[in-house]
Amino acid sequence: MDLASLLSPTAVRIIADVTSKKRLIQAVADVAAPLTGLSTTDITSALLERESLGPTGFGKGVALPHARLSGLTGVQGAFIKLDRPVDFDAVDRQPVDLIFALFAPEESGTEHLKALALVSRTLRDPVLCEKLRANSDAATLHTLLTEARATQAA
């Protein structure tokens, strides 16, 4: 599994007008709906339900919201870079500006966990996060993300 198989170029966005965690979750759902074929309402509800179990902001400005959804056949991702960070109840209490959301089939087990681990490892790289924050082109962000692990593995 690699990020290129989880993240399509159309699933990468730069968003300027998000002002709260709830609005960010809705923005993630707006990006994910056409990719998954599911409604924004269902995606928003699933993400909010997962967030109620504990925040998915893991620190240093990065969040990894995720949900299991019926109707999916495989794990899919969406990446959002915010122009202005928002409070996301992250473990370090810092606002987030890099968000990688994952969506997995309801019955997925290890595939979902492997995807979460891959994204988490990738976004814990401070050099990569610096490059992501320095770029404002969705295609460049996609390339940075999908080539990051491959370069580290080489």
**Which of 122, 124, 117, 54 is closest to 89 using CA atoms?**
54
Residue 112 is among the residues annotated as catalytic for this protein: no
Tell me how far apart the alpha carbons of residues 68 and 50 are, in angstroms, rounded to a whole number. Answer: 9
Catalytic pick among 6, 12, 24, 66: 66
**Which of 100, 105, 85 is closest to 142 using CA atoms?**
100
Q: Measured over all CA atoms, what is the biggest interatomic distance in the chain, rounded to whole angstroms?
A: 41
Catalytic residue set: 66
